[in-house]
Structure 1
Amino acid sequence: MAAARRWLADQGVRQVRGGWVTDEEPEELLTASQVAHSLAGDVFAEDLDAADQVRLAFGLLDLLDTYWVTCEIRFADESAEGPLPAGVLWDGYRQRLEAEREVEAVTYSLWVDWFEDHTTSASAFAEVLGNDIDRVVAEPSEALLRRARRVLECSGPVRWAVKEPAYRTALRLPALHSALFRGVRASFHDLYGDLEPAAALALLDRLELPADTQYLAELRHVLAAGHKNHHRSPGAWDQAVRFCS
């Protein structure tokens, strides 16, 4: 983060109480989002190797805490100069998914950019959870559990065949059951959510959840009826709500 702050200072941008200002117009208060839209992409034009560019971009994300920085990272990965070094890229995501601080920009980026795109969802899911879910379950530190929960909860758009093995492994750890439930629920409700009803219902049946878990009965109902997605079965959820009320 310190390197990112120095880089912004070199661009004539500094943080003040309530926002950001430029040296050229110090009276005009800017939001973090405005700074990101204006400058984040310039990180990848710096005379640095690609790995250091990625590290600087993630430092900027930590500092500005805004989704647009992750967009510029994705744009750089897809550019003619890309792809970005995968090790540094996904280390950056994993570290922030494990952090205690709120990481909404990171999870939103995973959800709408990497997971909704089926050309990247399998590799992205593997990098942030699928490749080491066995270690998470066997050695469940608080940091690893934070990452697993956050990924599971936004994994709705990932193809069922891709995420089901990780879901089944996560079943072995009750501390992940609530996140698994939210992942299955998102798999049904998300516009691009994906699941197999019978397999998802069987997974739900093995979760240790409070009997009064909100929407559990409704989710069981739609899955038992064979519905795969809220948006492809208009009215099914409302019918389940009426049935379970």
Structure 2
Amino acid sequence: MDTEGVEAARRWLADQSIHQVRDGWMSEENPDVLLTAGQVAHSWAGDVFAEDLSAADQVRLAFGLLDLLDEYWVTCEIRFADGSGEGPLPADVLWGGYRRRLEAERDVEAVTYSLWVDWFEDHTTSATAFAEVLANDIDRIVAERSEALLRRARRVLECSGPVRWTVKELAYRTAARLPALHSALFLGLRASFHDVYGDLEPAAALALLDQLDLPTTTQHLVALRHVLAAGHSNRHGSPGAWDDAVRSCSGS
């Protein structure tokens, strides 16, 4: 967590007459009404990008607000600002903010959910987003193997199902060289098959899956191998294929 950024966000909220109290948040205008972090995010996060600050400082303030509130909606406002007429946001600050949080020890569900449903599902942004949070660094991650870099890689792989196969295949194959990433890579492959917008090439995905050193008890490992071998690329494009595979594997 960026402590300095959190305190800057706390001061900014105080300037909006919003203060943290023991069980939530309070507005000076309605001191008897307890607000949730989500309500604060929905009501005030977007105002960050109307502040008389440089675009880079607006992004830094927004990330401080994200760290303080831990609410997905803050990431939505960041995305809206990037796609607005005033955008795009400075890429180094935007993606540096994502990378630092993906490397942090604390839970980052709001960040990974943002990547998954916003940046990765949108094919106009998925290639850039995937490159910025993983693909550009995958060789260094595999070489250095630091805990922070591995945390980032695992988190991105697990939510990368919607990224197009042609965009992620090289990073997937590079990640396969490091056993510490095999479980996350399996989850990425599984999501690539199951997600509504998931994408994979069955033969290439099967070849990659066969390289992974996974426990034989890994849930859905055999079923995933079965559907890929049958040439299915997405569960939703092949209705019944997954259920048939699960039944077949259960009966074997």
> TM-score under structure 2 normalisation?
0.97
- Aligned residue for 2:164? 159
Q: After superposition, where does 1:128-139 map in structure 2 within 5 Å?
A: 128-139=133-144
- Aligned residue for 1:42? 47
SS of structure 2 residue aligned to 1:15: strand
Identical positions, percent: 82
The one-letter code matched in structure 2 to 1:74 is R
Q: Which whole-Å CA distance do the structure 2 matches of 1:218 and 1:17 have between them? A: 48
SS of structure 2 residue aligned to 1:92: helix
Q: CA deviation at 1:191?
A: 0.2
Q: How many residues align?
A: 245
The answer to whether structure 1 residue 4 and structure 2 residue 4 are counterparts is no
Q: Deviations over 1:143-166 (max 9, x none)?
A: 000000000000000000100000
SS of structure 2 residue aligned to 1:28: strand
Q: Which whole-Å CA distance do the structure 2 matches of 1:244 and 1:136 have between them? A: 35
Q: Which whole-Å CA distance do the structure 2 matches of 1:115 and 1:96 have between them? A: 17
Which one of the candidate residues 189, 198, 211 is aligned to 1:193? Answer: 198
Q: Which whole-Å CA distance do the structure 2 matches of 1:219 and 1:18 have between them? A: 45
- Aligned residue for 2:154? 149
Q: Deviations over 1:53-76 (max 9, x none)?
A: 000000000000000000000000
SS of structure 2 residue aligned to 1:145: helix
Q: Which whole-Å CA distance do the structure 2 matches of 1:2 and 1:49 have between them? A: 19
SS of structure 1 residue aligned to 2:34: coil
Q: CA deviation at 1:19?
A: 0.8
- Aligned residue for 2:238? 233
The one-letter code matched in structure 2 to 1:37 is H
Q: Which whole-Å CA distance do the structure 2 matches of 1:18 and 1:129 have between them? A: 37
> TM-score under structure 1 normalisation?
0.99
**Pairwise CA RMSD:** 0.4
- Aligned residue for 1:104? 109
- Aligned residue for 2:180? 175
Q: Deviations over 1:176-197 (max 9, x none)?
A: 0000000000000000000000
The answer to whether structure 1 residue 55 and structure 2 residue 70 are counterparts is no
SS of structure 2 residue aligned to 1:44: helix
Q: Deviations over 1:120-175 (max 9, x none)?
A: 00000000000010000000111000000000000000000100000000011100
Q: Which whole-Å CA distance do the structure 2 matches of 1:242 and 1:79 have between them? A: 48
Q: Which whole-Å CA distance do the structure 2 matches of 1:69 and 1:212 have between them? A: 39
- Aligned residue for 1:20? 25
Structure 1 moving runs of 4+ over 2 Å: none
Q: CA deviation at 1:18?
A: 1.4
Q: Which whole-Å CA distance do the structure 1 matches of 2:246 and 2:87 have between them? A: 47
Q: CA deviation at 1:26?
A: 1.1
Runs (5+) with no aligned partner, structure 2: 1-5
Q: Which whole-Å CA distance do the structure 2 matches of 1:30 and 1:137 have between them? A: 44
The answer to whether structure 1 residue 222 and structure 2 residue 227 are counterparts is yes
Q: Which whole-Å CA distance do the structure 1 matches of 2:216 and 2:77 have between them? A: 43
Q: Which whole-Å CA distance do the structure 1 matches of 2:35 and 2:159 have between them? A: 30
Q: Which whole-Å CA distance do the structure 2 matches of 1:65 and 1:14 have between them? A: 16
Runs (5+) with no aligned partner, structure 1: none
The answer to whether structure 1 residue 119 and structure 2 residue 113 are counterparts is no
